[in-house]
C-alpha cells in the first residue's frame, strides 16, 4: 500500500530518461565521409523534414537559429569526428532550442548507459538526495551544493542545453526524475575521472563524496528497493501512498473518512486502448481501461455521497496522455463534483494533458488549484511520434496547437509558464523526513 510513490518514481524515470539521449562533433572539411557519418546525416535530414511539418516550429525560437544548428551539425558529421553518443545529445540540443516541451529526441534502448546510484528532487528550490544505495545511505536527505566544483545552479544551466522545456519548472522536473547519466555528464563537460559531489548533510556538515556510476540494471534495482528511499517509514503513511491493495498504479482512489475527503490519484491520462498515440518506448499492456475505472469510481461516490465534503484530484505526477478520458469522466459526473468542494493538486511534474485535466477541473467544477506551478505550460500542444528509419532513436513533435488554457492559466501572465496555483505550497525536505504531504494538508486546512 505504501509502494505508490516508489513505483511512480521508477515509472517516471523510465518515461523521462529517454528525453536526454541525443548528439555533437568537430568541424573539418575535405574529408571523405564514412558509413557511420552517412547514417548520422540521414538521421539529421529525417529530423529536419519531420519537424518542419510543424506550423508552430518557430513559436518560441527563430528559424535562423534552427537552420544554423542543423547546418553546423551536418558539417561536423562530415568531418567523421562525431561519435554516436555525442550525436544523440547534439540532436537533443537542437530540439531543446525550440523551447517546446513536446518536441525532443529519444533513444529506443538505454540499457548500456551508466548512471550515478542516487536520485534527487527539489524542495524549496534546493536539490536534495532522496534515493541512494547502501554505499551512499549516509547522504540521504543531503543538499547537493556542487558537482566536480560546479555549483548546482550551473549544473542546471548545462542541463537546460539538452532538455526540451518551456520553463524552469519543466527543467527541474526532468532533472529530478531522470537521474544523472554518465554520457550526459561527458557531453555537458561535467564529467571527471573522479566525480566529487559536495553535499550539505542533514546535520549541517558539508562533505565531499567520490561517487562512481553503476549499470542501468543496477540503477533500476536501486530505484525499486524501498529501503533506499529517504524516510520511507514515515512517508508510507502519507495520503499519496495509501493505494488500496488491488488498485492500479495509474489511477486509484481512497476515502479519508477522518477529514471527509475523497482522494483521487490520477497519475496518467493514458489507458490500455491508447496504443495509437504513444511513443515507441511506451507499453500500455498492463494499464487498466479507464472507462471501467470511472464506472467503479462513480459507483463508489454515489454509495458514499454523505461521507465526504471535498474531492481532491491529485495530478502532481501526471505527465499527460489522452485528455478525452478525464473530460468524459467529469462531464458524466458533473453533478457529484459540483455538489462538493473540488481541489486539484499539481506540481512541476504535471505536464501536457495533466495540465488539461486541471483546466477542466477549474472550468467545470470551480476547482481550487493547490501546490506548485506545473511544468507543463498553459499554451498547449499535442504531440506526434516518429521512429527513425536510420538509427535506434525516435522523435516527438509538438506540432498540433491546442489552445492557451485560460482556466488553469488564470494566474499566469506568460503563456510559457505553467499553471500557477491559487494556493501556493512549498514542499520542504522536512516535510519528506516527517512524512507530511503539505499539498494535501492545505486541502484539509482550506
- Which pLDDT belongs to residue 81? 83
* Annotated domain spans of the chain: 35-107, 114-228, 232-376+418-445
How many whole angstroms separate alpha carbon 80 and alpha carbon 74?
10
Across the strands, what pairs with 199?
Answer: 144, 207
Q: Counting beta carbons within 10 angstroms of the beta carbon of residue 258, is it exposed (0 to 12), middle (13 to 18) or buried (19 or more)?
A: exposed
CATH of domain 232-376+418-445: 3.90.226.10
Q: What number is the average pLDDT over the span 197-203?
A: 98
Across the strands, what pairs with 395?
Answer: 105, 386
- Which pLDDT belongs to residue 168? 98
Superfamily of segment(s) 114-228: PDZ domain (2.30.42.10)
Q: What is the 3-state secondary structure (H, E, C) of the chain?
A: CCCHHHHHHHHHHHHHHHHHCCECCCCCCCCCCCHHHHHHHHHHHHHHHHHCCCCCCCCCCCHHHHHHHHHHHHHHHHCCCCCHHHHHHHHHHHHHCCCCCCCEEEECCCCCCEECCEEEEEECCEEEEEEECHHHHHHCCCEEEEECCEEHHHHHHHHCCCCCCCCHHHHHHHHHHHCCEHHHHHHHCCCCCCEEEEEECCCCCEEEEEECCEEHHHHHHHHHCHHHECCHHHHCCCHHHCCCCCCCCCEEEEEECCCCEEEEEECCECCCCCHHHCCCCCCCCCCCCHHHHHHHHHHHHHHCHHHCCEEEEECCCCCCECHHHHHHHHHHCHHHHCCCEEEEEECCCCCCHHHHHHHHHHHHHCCEEEECCCCCECEEEEEEEEECCCCCEEEEEEEEEEEECCCCCCCCCCCCCECCCCEECCCCHHHHHCCCCHHHHHHHHC
**Cell 476547482, located at residue:** 367
- Which pLDDT belongs to residue 188? 98
- Which pLDDT belongs to residue 243? 97
How many whole angstroms separate alpha carbon 74 and alpha carbon 57?
20
Sign of CA dihedral 285, 287, 293, 294: negative
- Which pLDDT belongs to residue 33? 83
- Which pLDDT belongs to residue 437? 98
Q: What number is the average pLDDT over the span 229-246?
A: 95
How many whole angstroms separate alpha carbon 302 and alpha carbon 48?
52
How many whole angstroms separate alpha carbon 404 and alpha carbon 381?
9
320: confidence class by pLDDT, cuts 50, 70, 90: very high
**Cell 519537424, located at residue:** 51
Read off the pLDDT of residues 126-152 as tens digits, 9 standing for 90 and up.
999 999 998 999 999 999 999 999 999
What cell was used for 281? 518506448
- Which pLDDT belongs to residue 443? 99
Say what percent of the chain tops pLDDT 90: 90
Read off the pLDDT of residues 403-414 as tens digits, 9 standing for 90 and up.
999 999 999 999
What cell was used for 125? 528550490
Residue 18 has pLDDT above 90, yes or no: no
Task: Tell me the HSE value of 41 on the side-chain side, using a 13 A CA sphere.
Answer: 14
- Which pLDDT belongs to residue 431? 97
Read off the pLDDT of residues 20-35 as tens digits, 9 standing for 90 and up.
433 333 334 456 889 9
86: confidence class by pLDDT, cuts 50, 70, 90: very high
Q: Do domains 114-228 and 232-376+418-445 have the same CATH topology?
A: no
How many whole angstroms separate alpha carbon 209 and alpha carbon 196?
5
- Average pLDDT across the chain, whole number: 93
Amino acid at each position: 500500500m505504501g509502494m505508490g510513490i516508489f513505483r511512480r518514481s521508477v515509472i517516471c524515470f523510465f518515461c523521462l530518461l529517454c528525453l536526454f539521449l541525443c548528439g555533437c562533433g568537430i568541424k573539418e572539411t575535405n574529408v571523405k565521409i564514412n558509413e557511420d557519418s552517412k547514417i548520422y546525416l540521414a538521421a539529421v535530414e529525417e529530423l529536419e523534414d519531420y519537424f518542419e511539418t510543424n506550423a508552430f516550429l518557430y513559436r518560441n525560437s527563430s528559424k535562423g537559429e534552427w537552420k544554423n544548428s542543423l547546418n553546423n551539425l551536418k558539417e561536423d558529421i562530415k568531418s567523421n569526428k562525431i561519435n554516436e553518443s555525442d550525436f544523440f545529445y547534439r540532436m537533443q540540443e537542437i530540439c531543446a532550442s525550440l523551447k517546446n516541451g513536446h518536441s525532443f529526441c529519444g533513444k529506443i534502448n538505454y540499457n548500456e548507459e551508466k548512471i550515478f546510484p542516487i536520485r534527487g528532487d527539489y524542495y524549496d528550490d534546493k536539490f536534495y538526495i532522496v534515493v541512494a544505495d547502501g554505499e551512499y545511505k549516509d547522504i540521504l536527505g543531503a543538499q547537493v551544493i556542487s558537482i566536480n566544483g560546479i555549483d548546482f545552479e550551473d549544473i542546471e544551466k548545462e542541463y537546460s542545453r539538452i532538455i526540451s522545456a518551456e520553463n524552469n519548472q519543466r527543467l527541474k522536473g526532468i532533472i529530478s526524475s531522470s537521474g544523472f547519466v554518465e554520457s550526459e555528464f561527458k557531453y555537458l563537460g561535467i564529467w571527471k575521472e573522479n566525480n566529487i559531489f559536495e553535499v550539505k548533510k542533514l546535520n549541517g556538515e558539508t562533505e565531499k563524496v567520490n561517487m562512481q556510476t553503476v549499470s542501468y540494471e543496477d540503477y533500476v534495482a536501486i530505484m525499486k528497493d524501498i529501503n533506499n528511499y529517504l524516510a520511507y517509514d514515515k512517508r508510507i503513511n502519507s495520503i499519496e501512498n495509501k493505494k488500496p491493495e488491488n488498485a492500479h498504479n495509474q489511477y486509484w482512489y481512497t476515502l479519508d473518512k477522518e477529514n471527509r475527503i475523497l482522494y483521487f490519484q490520477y497519475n496518467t491520462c493514458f489507458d490500455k486502448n491508447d496504443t495509437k498515440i504513444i511513443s515507441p518506448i511506451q507499453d500500455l499492456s498492463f494499464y487498466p481501461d479507464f472507462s471501467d475505472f470511472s464506472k467503479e469510481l462513480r459507483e463508489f461516490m454515489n454509495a458514499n455521497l454523505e461521507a465526504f465534503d471535498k474531492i481532491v484530484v491529485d495530478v502532481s505526477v501526471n505527465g499527460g496522455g489522452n485528455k478525452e478520458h478525464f473530460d468524459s469522466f467529469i462531464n458524466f459526473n458533473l453533478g457529484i463534483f459540483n455538489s462538493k468542494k473540488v481541489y486539484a493538486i499539481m506540481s512541476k511534474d504535471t505536464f501536457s494533458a495533466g495540465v488539461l485535466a486541471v483546466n477542466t477541473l477549474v472550468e467545470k467544477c470551480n476547482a481550487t488549484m493547490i501546490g506548485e506551478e506545473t511544468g507543463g505550460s498553459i499554451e498547449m500542444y499535442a504531440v506526434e511520434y516518429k521512429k527513425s528509419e536510420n538509427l535506434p532513436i525516435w522523435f516527438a513533435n509538438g506540432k498540433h496547437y491546442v489552445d492557451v488554457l485560460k482556466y488553469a492559466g488564470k494566474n499566469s501572465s506568460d503563456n510559457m509558464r505553467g499553471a500557477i496555483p491559487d494556493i501556493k505550497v512549498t514542499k520542504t525536505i522536512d516535510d519528506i523526513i516527517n512524512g507530511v504531504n503539505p499539498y494535501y494538508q492545505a486541502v484539509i486546512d482550506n
